[in-house]
Amino acid sequence: MNIIKAEDYNQMSRMAANYIAAQVTLKPNCVLGLATGSSPIGTYQELIRRHQAGDLDFSKVTSINLDEYKGLSPENAQSYRYFMNTNFFDHINIDKTCTYVPNGLEENAEKACADYDAIIENCGGTDLQLLGLGNNGHIGFNEPDEVFAKGTHCVDLAKSTIDANARFFDSMDEVPKQAYTMGIQSIMQAKKILVIVSGKGKANIVKEAFTGPVTPQVPASILQMHPDVTLIADKDALELL
Ligand code: GLP
């Protein structure tokens, strides 16, 4: 694993944008696996800046997002589709019909997951998967579990995840309790993986995930088995490594 230390969140974001920009420049029709959360917002802003400066063309890029809350519509400001549109897609020249996010409005979980796996397969998998790291080591919404889930599946969110998400909703009742997420196998099949982590609050889980035992109780620990992982983290997040 390649570990790159950044001074702070802003430098982490610029470095991550360098990495993604290189991928898009070298393979304009690449498939990007994209993530939500606070970690990638700065990276998306930096990519938008480079696009607006005329240096980055997303017109041939396809994107596949990791996850979506079950029950939230694309217009819901807390849905991940809305997040991706407003934080990234609306500001670049990507063809929105080539941007994929699981369908949160599909109530039939089996269908939602099978449809998404078919999309991933039709795209030929991802060239570069961007990942944040949940406080409990989750990636996408692959929560700590007895086994590593393979394909897209419907998850009951961990209490710690629901609590962490509560800040975005008006009341606890509105916080989604389930989500559709790409599985660990699909994530691991990405040709390259870029993980971005920032802040002292993540220092413990960074240490556990990247130097501890590989176990489904810490889903990100599986990344130790991937041949091409780059971790770009700020010095606070790396302070226990
Ligand atoms: C959510 C997302 C993850 C993300 C995680 C961490 O649970 N499903 O993909 O990595 O949050 O979020 P943050 O980057 O805000 O710490």
User: Residue 237: its pLDDT value, please?
Assistant: 98
Give the per-residue pLDDT at 145: 94
Domains: count for the chain: 1
Residues labelled catalytic: 67, 136, 138, 143
Domain with 99, as residue range(s), is: 2-234
Residues of the chain scoring pLDDT < 50: none
* pLDDT score at 161: 86
Q: Does 152 reside within a domain?
A: yes
**Dihedrals phi, psi of 122, to nearest 5 degrees:** -60, -30
226-236 pLDDT, tens digit per residue, is 999 999 999 99
Q: What string of DSSP letters covers 203-223?
A: HHHHHHHHHS---TTSGGGGG
Q: Ligand 1 atom closest to Cα of 202? A: 16
Pocket of ligand 1 (CB under 6 A): 35-39, 66-67, 132-134, 140-141, 161
In a domain, 239, yes or no: no
Residue 68 resides in a domain: yes
**CATH number of domain containing 76:** 3.40.50.1360
Token digits of residue 33: 């696996």
Q: Is residue 240 part of a domain?
A: no
Would residue 113 count as lying in a domain? yes
Q: In this predicted model, what pLDDT tens digit does every residue of 175-200 receive, in sequence order?
A: 999 999 999 999 999 999 999 999 99
Predicted local confidence at residue 103, as pLDDT: 98
Q: Is residue 111 part of a domain?
A: yes
Number of C-alpha atoms within 13 angstroms, CB side, residue 164? Answer: 14
